[in-house]
């Protein structure tokens, strides 16, 4: 194992897959000459050249459509959005074309494409650059949605996403690109749709994904000092969602808290809550609690933003509530 940054794990995954398959290429704003807006494609232009690492105009609808169309002639594009907030400009290509091609062609065509970039908030970026889109895309049949929380998972899951025969939404965070973690020297992949138990526990299950899971880790450390044992599950993939791992944990702990950086109405934690109560109702010793952002656009003010975002104290309070303490 060596320790590398999240951005390096992303770069390694893309580069390794491009070396193995000439059909894979990278396209997006500033991915080439600038080495990526977040330096996640550093050195790739030098290695693969301008035909496979392509700088685009600021036209998400245009280059998303080019990427989708190119899959029909045998390529496997990686389309980078500088932020998934900008994917709204190209969302017609993702929802109405990429996600529908296999069905609407009667199975004659598939669409092996990865749309990747950062999601959710990243400090004082304002309301239009601080939105979480995981549940938006997960709601659409035909798309797979991956939201890793560390370099190891990012590399293994991105390699699987690039090899997948269907469109994959791969969501990162500006605030994670500098995060460091252990990643093997040898090649590996992680299967899409498999959650990971990051911390074993007995008293309560905490489910999360993406960068916000760090608040769950911090809360678990505090709660351990008070004698409360938390099991933490990182979903890693929200479509398909690994219900089996979550339900097995709930059957052990009998309590569930879900932490998600998203608006509270109709999100991933809402769906997970429904599935758990339907499949494991008799095992629950307390109502399921979900922790989300405030039900407003993200504020710019740092004081308000701190209140808007879920934090470890929110998790501690929720755990104590389901423990009746």
Q: What is the pLDDT of residues 269-325, one digit of tens each?
A: 999 999 999 999 999 999 999 999 999 999 999 999 999 999 999 999 999 999 999
Q: Supply the residues annotated as catalytic.
A: 60, 129
Q: Which CATH architecture has domain 2-183?
A: 3-Layer(aba) Sandwich (3.40)
Burial class (CB in 10 A: 0-12, 13-18, 19+), 263: middle
pLDDT confidence of residue 51: 97
pLDDT confidence of residue 67: 98
Q: What is the mean pLDDT of residues 208-228?
A: 98
Q: Mean pLDDT over all residues of the chain?
A: 98
pLDDT digits (tens, 9 = 90+) for 18-45: 999 999 999 999 999 999 999 999 999 9
pLDDT confidence of residue 5: 98
- Cβ-based neighbour number of residue 117 at 10 Å: 24
pLDDT digits (tens, 9 = 90+) for 245-285: 999 999 999 999 999 999 999 999 999 999 999 999 999 99
Tokens 């989300």 -> residue: 292
Q: Which fold has domain 196-323?
A: Rossmann fold (3.40.50)
Q: Where are the domains of the chain?
A: 2-183, 196-323
pLDDT confidence of residue 22: 98
Give the pLDDT band of residue 82 (cuts 50, 70, 90): very high
Long-range contacts of residues 313-318, Cβ cutoff 8 Å, at least 24 apart? 313/219, 314/215, 314/259, 315/206, 315/215, 315/216, 315/218, 315/219, 315/257, 315/259, 315/291, 316/219, 316/222, 316/223, 318/257, 318/289, 318/291
Q: What is the mean pLDDT of residues 66-84?
A: 98
pLDDT confidence of residue 273: 98
Q: What is the mean pLDDT of residues 85-114?
A: 97
Burial class (CB in 10 A: 0-12, 13-18, 19+), 277: middle
pLDDT digits (tens, 9 = 90+) for 161-207: 999 999 999 999 999 999 999 999 999 999 999 999 999 999 999 99
| Its pTM surpasses 0.85 | yes
Candidates 174, 173, 188, 195; CA nearest to 17 is: 188
Give the pLDDT band of residue 221 (cuts 50, 70, 90): very high
Instruction: Collect all residues with Cβ–Cβ distance below 8 Å to 106 and sequence separation of at least 6.
Output: none
Is it true that 2-183 and 196-323 share their CATH fold?
A: yes
Q: What is the mean pLDDT of residues 201-227?
A: 98
What H or E segment, with its residue span, contains residue 28? strand 24-28
């Amino acid at each position: 194992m060596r320790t590398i940054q999240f951005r390096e794990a992303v770069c390694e995954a893309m580069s390794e897959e491009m070396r193995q398959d000439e059909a894979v290429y990278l396209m997006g704003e500033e991915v080439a000459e600038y080495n990526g807006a977040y330096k996640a494609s550093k050195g790739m232009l030098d290695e693969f050249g301008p035909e496979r690492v392509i700088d685009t105009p600021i036209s998400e609808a245009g280059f998303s459509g080019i990427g989708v169309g190119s899959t029909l002639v045998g390529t496997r594009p990686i389309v980078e959005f500088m932020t998934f907030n900008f994917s709204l400009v190209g969302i017609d290509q993702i929802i109405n074309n990429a996600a529908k091609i296999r069905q609407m062609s009667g199975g004659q065509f598939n669409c092996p494409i990865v749309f990747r970039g950062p999601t959710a908030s990243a400090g004082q970026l304002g309301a239009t650059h601080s939105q979480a889109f995981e549940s938006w895309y997960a709601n659409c049949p035909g798309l797979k949605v991956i939201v890793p929380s560390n370099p190891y998972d990012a590399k293994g899951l991105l390699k699987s996403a690039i090899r997948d025969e269907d469109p994959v939404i791969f969501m990162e965070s500006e605030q994670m690109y500098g995060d460091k973690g252990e990643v093997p020297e040898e090649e590996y992949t992680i299967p899409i749709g498999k959650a990971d138990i990051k911390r074993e526990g007995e008293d309560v299950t905490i489910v999360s994904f993406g960068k916000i899971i760090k608040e769950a880790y911090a809360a678990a450390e505090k709660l351990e000092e008070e004698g409360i044992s938390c099991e933490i599950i990182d979903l890693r993939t929200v479509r398909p969602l690994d219900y089996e791992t979550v339900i097995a944990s709930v059957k052990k702990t009998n309590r569930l808290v879900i932490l998600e950086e998203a608006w509270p109405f109709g999100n991933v934690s809402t769906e997970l809550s429904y599935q758990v109560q339907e499949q494991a109702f008799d095992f629950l010793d307390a109502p399921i609690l979900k922790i989300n952002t405030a039900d407003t656009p993200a504020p710019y003010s740092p004081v308000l933003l701190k209140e808007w975002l879920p934090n470890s104290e929110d998790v501690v309070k929720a755990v104590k509530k389901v423990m009746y303490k």
